Amino acid sequence: LAIPEVRRELKVDADTAQDLSDLVEEVMEEIGEMTRSMMQDLRGGDRGDRQEAMQKMAEKVRQMGDEAMGDVRKMLTEDQINRLRELHLQRLGWAALEEGDVQKSLDLSDSQIEKIKEVREQIAEERREMMREMGGGRGEGGRGEGGRGEGGRGQGGGNREAMTEMQTKIQKMEEDGFKKILTDEQSKQLQDMRGAKFEFPQRGPGGRGGAGRGGRGGRADF
C-alpha cells in the first residue's frame, strides 16, 4: 500500500489513496520507534535476550499489521481487498507457504508444513553464509518475490552485483525446494491465488532505495 503503483492497481480514488499513504506512514513510524527503542535496550545484552526481544517485536509488528488492516478494510471495497491479497501473495513469493491461511487453503499436510519449515531454515542459513562471505552479516531482511531486503547497511555499488547473484541463487533454492513439496494441484491453486501478474517497481516507496520484499512483518490478516 506504500507503493503508488499498487494503489493505482487497486483503482482507489485520490482521497482514499492519501488516507492509505498516511496510514502506512503512521504504522512505519511506530515500527521504527519500537525498533530503535528495542535496539537501545538490548545494547550489551546476551544472545538469548536479543532473540526473545526479536520474537516479541515480530509479534508486535504482526499485531500492528492486523490492526492496520482493520482500517484498510473500511477504506477499500471487497474487490480491492481481494486484489490486495493477490498482490500480497505475489510479493511474498514462496514465503506465502508459511502463512497459516495459505496452508489451510492448499490443505497442506503436517508433513508438508514441516518440510516447508526445513527448507526455510536451510535457505536462511545459506543466506547468512553468503552474507558472511560478502563481509556483510547485517540486514537479513524480509521475504517475498519483489526483492528480499537481504542487503546490509552501507551496501555500495561494488556489492550490487554480488547481491544480485545471491538473490538469484536464493530464488533458485526456493523454487527447487518449495515447489517439490507441493502437488501439481496445489501448485496450480497457489498460482491462481496470486491472480494476474503484477510488476512491482524496482524502487522503494517514494523512491527510497529498492522496493524490498515484504517480510514477516508485512503479513496481514486479510
What confidence score (pLDDT) does residue 215 get?
41
Count Cα neighbours of 26 within 13 Å in the Cβ-side half-sphere.
11
What confidence score (pLDDT) does residue 151 get?
41
What confidence score (pLDDT) does residue 2 get?
85
What confidence score (pLDDT) does residue 89 get?
96
What confidence score (pLDDT) does residue 133 get?
80
Q: What CA–CA distance (Å, rounded) separates 20 from 151?
A: 27
C-alpha torsion sign, points 34, 134, 179, 202: positive
What confidence score (pLDDT) does residue 74 get?
94
What are the mean pLDDT values of the chain's consecutive 10-residue runs (222 residues total)? 92 93 92 84 67 82 88 95 96 90 96 94 86 62 44 52 83 87 95 96 53 44 54
Q: What CA–CA distance (Å, rounded) separates 149 from 144?
A: 9
Q: How far is CA 164 from the centre of its chain?
A: 18
What confidence score (pLDDT) does residue 147 get?
42
What confidence score (pLDDT) does residue 158 get?
53
What confidence score (pLDDT) does residue 136 get?
53
